A and B are shown apart, each in its own frame.
Chain A
Amino acid sequence: MRTTAVLGSLAVLLLAGTAHADTSAKKIAFSNNYAGNSWRQAMLKSYEIVTKKAVADGIVGASDIFTTADQEVPTQAAQIQNLILQGYDAIVINAASPDALNGAVKQACDAGIVVVSFDGIVTEPCAYRVVVDFKAMGREEVEQMAKFHPEGGNLLEIRGLAGTSIDDEIHAGIAEGVAKHSQFKIVNSVTGNWDQTTAQKAVATVLPSLPEIVGVVTQGGDGYGTAQAFAAAGKPRPTIIMGNRQDELAWWKEQKAKDGYKTWSASIAPGVSSLAFWVAQQVLDGRTDVPHDLLVPYLAFTQEDFEAALPNIPEGSVATTEYTQADAIETIKANIK
């Protein structure tokens, strides 16, 4: 009886041991190149919450965040080289450029370091990429628009930062959606750079020349500015797709209370940083079957559930979700084909 109990507890200990013994001494660094907007701040916060707990639980040995203030490639490249010298086992990275950091990333890989990029990804094949399915998001925007306006009409498109993969993907998704729902026509597109100020300015300049607009398809962080531009020009308010920012959802709530305004909201959750962390941990854990390109779903809110989420978003910030180790294992499984 006694031996079974001892053996049993030993077995439990062993089982528990195998779950996280392999990475408990590993050090993971986070290289981030910008902290100046609400999305990045939320991203850093999510990362900190999740990794602090992971360190306290003994899942990893250390997790440190390094942010360079500017968006410059050379600064971040130098930072990565420092992280290699400091002996980190993995680097989670939100990169300033998809290809200009490949040299530094290759050096890290050659030094046996696991590199996981997300949001701002790197194209170097040895690195892992956690990518949100932006194309699906663009497609879904038009799907939703078709629900609100089955009769179709003119759409205005707000583009993101030119030259980024994110802008290209969302745009491609929207183009696919419009091709499918031919009752819609994109009459113009302006650059909003995912920023309310830039979006408002761009929409204000183009609005006077536009015919009646039934809907605006956006990329996130530009919906509130768009709404303000329509209001300032005294034009009727179209259906504007939102991007999970607190000010956007608050505006939506205000309009909904006024006259039952309907729209849809979607964006990449800043907490995807924590998913990248868990992916790094899984690779360090010895998993060899992790695909280098991981597609994760975007975070969306509908007419029914956005008001429940609103109180949890700090004022001026963006909706997020923190990912768990189980989520990462689930994501990896879903991406193995």
Chain B
Amino acid sequence: MMVLRALLARPWIWSFIGALLVWLAAISFTGGYGAGGMITAALSLAVFMVIVGIGQMFVITLGPGNVDLSLPANIGLASAVAMKVMGGSDAMILVGLVAALTSGMAVGMANYLLIRALRIPPIIATLSSSFIVHSIDIAYGRGLQIKPPPAFADFTNIQFLGIPILAICGVVFAFLAGIALQRMIYGRSVLAIGQNMRAAWLAGIPVERIRFLTYTLSGALGGINGALLAGYFRGASVDIGNEYLLSSIAVVVIGGTSVAGGKANVPGIWGAALFLVLLLTMLNTFGVSAGIRLLLTGLIIVGVITAAGGQKALR
């Protein structure tokens, strides 16, 4: 009982409960058929949300108004950069990954410069930089689908007992991010800034350096995600990251991170990402039409956030 209560007190548990419920709903519809396949598919797709979600989480935790809206454009550009640099050759995979990382970091740094040097609110700065990045991508990639090298494409699809290797890497990465957040000076500084920027500054935290690092980190994760997506989906494209504008923010919020900043939660991001993918799986399995599916997705997300938030108010 104590264990159960302690578990329920954790804000991240709700997203996992939600994921479990939609999964059960989906397999009860099929009579248990395809239960394992659904988990495998959910893990392979959720990992991409987790990677950008963690970047977005650090940014949002910086406090009110901080958000990275340039992720979709950033992911699109990085996917094109990675595939062009790799040029279909296995020998160039590492170089391509570094190029994607660099491209993502450059976008993150540019975001911070707009916010800091021109004093533009982050929401406007990252949105306008996303238009610029998007245009660069269209000019650079010419809207073509560029294919990944075979070894890289295979890597993104390796499974071990039905668990994608990429998902295992994602769990390890989330674990490290959790340590960085709770146990390292960087993470504690992000939390402190999110709680009160002025107090953090007075306490001697290098506020601007931490903000710079955070936006760069979010950009870098977007870049890596772009390269991995291009590998998994067998090709870069301008629109490859479109989904991650809403979903990167949704996984952070559903996962129990405070939108007001100063309070973050890493495990919840995994739960929320699984929840979102399994929700799509469930609705696709039911075979509902596109309009109904979007409507239900919206309603269920609102419901889950309300439920998770309501629990907090009770305490």
Residue numbers of A with Cβ under 8 A of B are 35-41, 69, 159, 162-163, 188-191, 195-197, 200-202, 204-210, 224-225, 228, 232-233, 245-247, 314-317
- Bound complex: CA of A191 vs CA of B294, how far in Å? 11
* The one of A69, A228, A315 that contacts B144, using a Cβ cutoff of 8 Å: A315
Q: How many residues on chain B are close to A (CB under 8 Å)?
A: 44
Indicate if the CB atoms of A196 and B144 lie closer than 8 Å: no
B240 within 8 A of A: yes
- Identify which of residues 31-76 in chain B touch chain A, using a CB-to-CB cut-off of 8 Å: 33-38, 40-42, 44-45
B308 within 8 A of A: no
Indicate if the CB atoms of B235 and A196 lie closer than 8 Å: yes
Indicate if the CB atoms of B239 and A36 lie closer than 8 Å: yes
- Bound complex: CA of A91 vs CA of B281, how far in Å? 44
Indicate if the CB atoms of A206 and B144 lie closer than 8 Å: no
Indicate if the CB atoms of B233 and A200 lie closer than 8 Å: yes
- Bound complex: CA of A148 vs CA of B172, how far in Å? 46
- Bound complex: CA of A29 vs CA of B289, how far in Å? 38
Indicate if the CB atoms of B38 and A208 lie closer than 8 Å: yes
Contact A232-B290, Cβ < 8 Å, known A69-B134, A209-B30: no
Residue numbers of B with Cβ under 8 A of A are 26, 29-30, 33-38, 40-42, 44-45, 131, 134-135, 138, 142-147, 157, 229, 233-235, 237-240, 243, 277, 280-281, 284-285, 287, 289-291, 293
- Residues from chain B with Cβ under 8 Å of A201 in the complex: 45, 243, 280
Contact A207-B37, Cβ < 8 Å, known A35-B138, A197-B233, A225-B233: yes
Indicate if the CB atoms of A206 and B285 lie closer than 8 Å: yes
Contact A197-B229, Cβ < 8 Å, known A159-B290, A162-B290: yes
CB distance from A35 to the nearest CB of B (A): 6
Indicate if the CB atoms of A205 and B131 lie closer than 8 Å: no
- Residues from chain A with Cβ under 8 Å of B239 in the complex: 36-37, 195, 197
Indicate if the CB atoms of A207 and B291 lie closer than 8 Å: no
Indicate if the CB atoms of A196 and B284 lie closer than 8 Å: no
- 10 further interface pairs, Cβ-Cβ under 8 Å (given A201-B280, A209-B285, A247-B235): A35-B143, A36-B134, A37-B237, A41-B143, A69-B135, A188-B284, A207-B37, A209-B37, A225-B233, A316-B235
- Residues from chain A with Cβ under 8 Å of B38 in the complex: 205, 208-209
Contact A196-B291, Cβ < 8 Å, known A36-B239, A228-B234, A233-B41: no
Contact A208-B41, Cβ < 8 Å, known A197-B237, A316-B144: yes
Indicate if the CB atoms of B290 and A202 lie closer than 8 Å: no
CB distance from B245 to the nearest CB of A (A): 14
Indicate if the CB atoms of B284 and A206 lie closer than 8 Å: yes
- Bound complex: CA of A200 vs CA of B290, how far in Å? 16
CB distance from B60 to the nearest CB of A (A): 25
CB distance from A273 to the nearest CB of B (A): 15
Which residue of chain A is the closest to B42 with respect to CB atoms? A205
CB distance from A215 to the nearest CB of B (A): 17
Indicate if the CB atoms of A205 and B36 lie closer than 8 Å: no
- Residues from chain A with Cβ under 8 Å of B138 in the complex: 35-36, 69
